[in-house]
Amino acid sequence: MLAWIPRRQRPGAGALFNIFVIGLSMDAALALPPEITGLPLRLGLMTAGVVLTAMGGAAYIGAGMGAVVFAVGIGPLIQIFLPWFLALGRDRVQARA
């Protein structure tokens, strides 16, 4: 947000909305998995996250068709992974009860 000051630009409503949506989504997502305490495991997960993000960005940019390829590719993956996370959420709710 501070990068806009020297450029004398005001952030748009979409940028401000994005900040809150991403922040709330991350808070919710980080509340789900158990805390990882081992440093080697944490470093491994961080490295894997960076690599996967880079691969996704490269695929998105390199595809030449941008959002269409990404949307078509991500939709089926979401359908595959969604049941895993729904099951994890139900297990946690039952364990807390």
pLDDT of residue 41: 92
pLDDT of residue 48: 93
87: exposed, middle or buried (Cβ count in 10 Å: 0-12, 13-18, 19+): exposed
Please say whether the beta carbons of 73 and 66 come within 8 A.
Answer: no
pTM: 0.42
Alpha helix segments (H runs only) across the chain: 4-7, 13-31, 39-62, 67-96
pLDDT of residue 95: 53
Flag residues of the chain having pLDDT under 50.
none
Please say whether the beta carbons of 29 and 49 come within 8 A.
Answer: no
Query: Residues with Cβ < 8 Å from 73, sequence gap 6 or more?
Result: 59
Q: Rounded to an integer, what distance in angstroms lies between the CA atom of residue 36 and that of residue 1?
A: 30
Q: Rounded to an integer, what distance in angstroms lies between the CA atom of residue 84 and that of residue 78?
A: 10
pLDDT of residue 33: 84
pLDDT of residue 35: 84
pLDDT of residue 40: 93
